[in-house]
Each structure stands twice: as structure tokens, then as C-alpha cells.
Amino acid sequence: MRRSDPPPPDMETKAVALDAAAPAPPAAVAAELLDAVVLPTGVPLGGDLIVPGALGRAVAARLPKATLADDWQRPVGVVRSAVELPAGDPRLPATLPDGSPWPAGGGLLCQIAYIEGTADGRLAADSVRRRGARQHYSVGYRVLDAEHKAGVRLIRVLDVYTISPRLERPEAFRRKAAPTPGLEVKDGAGTAPPPLGSADRGHQVRGVRTADGRRGARAALG
């Protein structure tokens, strides 16, 4: 996978939200990888339905950038991996950050190493650790192919550019303009998934991976 190129002028953002000019030195990137399922798929939310498979194809071609408030010039971490989970996958959370049930569809699972050598990176990492499964995220994207049916925009092809932990509580699944020109943002989506092997998906936990790939869990805080 290649890292994101700068987004085009018509990027959108969806929220369910290193120095900007250059990669941060290795010592500034946290060793633990924090997991987040950042956007539901396959169900209509906020007037959009992302067709299953569309997010998987997007992140296979380009890993998104972890940013603050979907602002391309304010990176907060490195997305180490991203994969689209199908509906029913045990790695999907039981609930959204507001406590309502996770929708019937799948979701985009990202592993993010936050850059704690910068103020923005520390702010984002602190929010994720403190809020745990109650952390909201947003996603910045550009739609390449879509059609409207019965008042819903069916998104078949898109590019995903940014993933952002939201510092404020957003309006769930609202589509809005992004700080980065050319993006749409979907607000209010996503949460931490259950730990692997968890029998109780309703238990609010935060998945953690260390740099060597080992998996554990930490209870949600905040």
C-alpha cells in the first residue's frame, strides 16, 4: 500500500476525525497501535450508503492519513493498516460511541500509531485513550462513482484520505465540508472494536496492538 498523496480539490469528509511537511522521527511515534472501526458500511447513514467492498478497495490502493479534524496539514499519527470488515465480523463493535447498536453492515478497521512528539498528536492520543470505546471518528473522502436511489446516495467508488479522532461530540453521520479543500467528511462514526477472542462484544474495551503485533485489551476510560 502507498501512503496518501495530497487530496484533490473536491475531497469530501465523513465523520462517525509528524509535522505536516515531513514524517516524524521514529522516536515520536508511539509503539502501541490503537484499533478503531471508523465507519459503518452497507447501510444508509446520513443520506449515504457505502457499498460493501468500496472502502476495502480504497484502502488497498492508498492508506489514509491520521489527522486532527480532517485537516491535511495537521497529522496526528500513522495508519499502519486498514481493512474493511464484512457484516457479522466478530471484530466489529457491539455499539456506536453513543451506545446505540452498531448498524447491520460492516465497517472499516484501522490501526493507528499516534505521533506523541507533537502537540496535535498528543491531544489526539489522549482523547482516544481517555474515551476508549466512546471515541468518535470522522473520515475524509472523495466520491468517484455514485448514484441516487430513493433519496440515498449509493457510493460505489471512493478515495479515502483522512481518519480523525473527534475532540468534540459530532452530529452522528452528518456529511459536511472538510477543512481540507476538496474533501467530504462523515461525522460521528466509529469506535474501538472488542478484543480478539472476547465472548462479550457488549463489554466496552479498547483494542491495543504493540509494535511487534501482540494483541491485548484495556478497559475504556473517560
Along the chain (222 residues), what's the average pLDDT of each consecutive run of 10 residues?
56 45 47 79 89 96 92 92 93 84 89 92 91 85 94 94 82 55 69 50 32 34 27
pLDDT of residue 148: 95
Do the Cβ atoms of 94 and 103 come closer than 8 Å? no
CA angle 78–4–180, rounded 5-degree value:
95
- Angle of CA points 95, 126, 121, to nearest 5°: 115
Give the pLDDT of residue 134. Answer: 82
* Burial 144-173, CB ≥16 within 10 A → b, else e: eebeeeeeebbbeebbbbbbbbbbeebebb
Question: What is the reported pTM?
Answer: 0.72
> Taking the domains of the chain in order of start, what are their residue ranges?
2-215
Contact 123, 164 (CB under 8 A): no
Other C-beta atoms closer than 10 Å to the C-beta of 52 total 15
Q: Measured between alpha carbons, how far is 90 from 149 in angstroms, rounded to an integer?
A: 31
pLDDT given at position 208: 36
Eight-state DSSP code of residue 153: E
pLDDT number for residue 138: 87
- Rounded-to-integer distance, Cα 160 and Cα 57, Å: 10
Q: What is the pLDDT of residue 16?
A: 46
Those residues with Cβ within 8 angstroms of residue 86's Cβ, 6 or more apart along the chain or in another chain? 52, 106
Residue 191: what pLDDT? 65
